[in-house]
Amino acid sequence: MILKNLFYKLFNIKVEAKENLMKKFLIVGLGNIGDKYENTRHNIGFKILDEVASEHNTSFETEKLGDIASFRFKGRTFILLKPNTFMNLSGKAVKYWMQKENVLIDNILVVTDDLNIDFGTIRVKAKGSDGGHNGLKDIQEKLGTTKYPRFRFGVGSNYSKGRQVDYVLGEWNKEEEGKLIERLPTSSKVITSFGTAGLANTMNTFNGK
C-alpha cells in the first residue's frame, strides 16, 4: 500500500510538472539595443514587447543576454525577452533563456519585422524560413530547427533598390507612427492569445489583420 501511494504521488507530481511546463511561454522581441535604434522599423519586436509589458503592469530588468519581464495572465506565465546581443546574435539569448526557464520550443514566440508584408499586417506562423532576416537566421542556427512559432509584423517595402538596410534601420514616418497607436494594442492581444487560445486559434483570429 505504501509503495502504491508513493507511485501515485510521484505520478501526480510528474503530471503537475508537465502541466506547469505547458503553461509557460517565452516571448522574444527582436531588435537592436541603443537609443539610435529605438524607433526604427527593425525594432518593432522591442516596441511590441514594451506595449505588452505596459498593459500588464510589468517592467524589464537587465539580466544575462537580455532585458527580461514576466507576468501571469489567465493561469499562464509569460516571460518577455529583449535580447541585448544585437540582432545578428539573437539566437544565443533565445537558447539561453529557453533552457534556463525550461520552456518548450512550441511555447516560444519570436516577434520580428517583415519587409514582405504590408505595414501593420500581422502574420503568425508555426514555422518557416528566415526569409533573409539575420535575427531569425541566428535563432534557426542556435536552435537547430526552423520549427518554432514566429509573429511577423509587416513594415512594408517602400524603399528603392539597394536601400533595404537603410529602410529597416530608418525611423517610422509620421503616418506609420499614427497607425502604430492602433496596431500595438492589437499586437499585444496576439501574444496573450498565443498563450491562452493556442497557435492555431491565434492564426485564425489575427492573420492578415
Four-residue CA torsion sign, 48, 52, 55, 61: negative
Our separate counts of H helices and E strands in the chain read 7, 7
Is 134 part of any known ligand binding site?
yes
Rounded to the nearest 10 degrees, what angle do helices 174-196 and 44-55 cross at? 60
HSE-up (13 A, CA, CB side) for residue 200: 0
For the residues of 93-162, what is the DSSP string, one character each? HHHHHHHHTT--GGGEEEEEEETTS-TT-EEEES----TT-HHHHHHHHHHT-S-S-EEEEE------TT
Which residue in 41, 42, 82, 150 is the catalytic one? 42
Is 37 part of any known ligand binding site?
yes
Closest CA to 110 of 130, 38, 119: 130
Can you say how many angstroms the Cα of residue 20 is from the centroid of all Cα atoms in its chain?
20
Distances (CA, A) of 65 to 109, 110, 166: 17, 16, 26
Are the CB atoms for 148 and 26 separated by under 8 Å? no
Is 86 part of any known ligand binding site?
yes
Q: Establish whether 133 is a catalytic residue.
A: no
Return the active site residues. Answer: 42
Annotated binding site for tRNA: 37, 86, 88, 134
